[in-house]
Amino acid sequence: MGTTTLTSTNVAASRPIWLVSVLAGLAAATATELYGLAARAVGVPMQAGNIGASTSGPVTIGMFAMGTAISVFCGTVLAVLLARYARRPARIYLWTTIALTAVSMAGPYLAGATATSTKLMLALAHIIAAAIVIPAVTRRLSHTPLEQHRP
């Protein structure tokens, strides 16, 4: 009787792309929310304004997780579409999401009526989420069979 060994790569490669993205998103949402709670605990002001605003509003508990979930939803749609139609989905996803993460930094840095410590903390939250989700989904997309792609 033979035995079959599954490595983590084989297991990840066999999961649907949307599931890998959702699970990575849950991990990222949890991590960013815990990061936000830790920032509160050490006294980072939890008040932020919109881009160019002259007033700020509270950054409430749950906003880190919600922001991460919204971004991951969009990234999941992108990943599924790339897996279906792109010749090199992993490469396109990787570079697109890195660029989008860089663009997302404009929000914290241009936030009006917001303390510098809060801006830096918010920007780092973007990086934390991206560092969790992007590698997991890129790895999964790298195992997309070529015959799945349409010409």
Q: What is the pLDDT of residue 8?
A: 54
**Cα three-residue angle 54-65-16, rounded to 5 degrees:** 135
Q: Where are the domains of the chain?
A: 16-39+60-146
Q: What is the pLDDT of residue 70?
A: 98
Q: Whole-model pTM?
A: 0.89
| pLDDT tens, residue order, the chain (151 aa) | 555 555 555 666 789 999 999 999 999 999 999 999 999 999 999 999 999 899 999 999 999 999 999 999 999 999 999 999 999 999 999 999 999 999 999 999 999 999 999 999 999 999 999 999 999 999 999 997 754 545 5
Q: Which phi and psi angles does 48 have, rounded to 5°?
A: -145, 145
Helix (H, G, I), strand (E, B) or coil at 143: coil
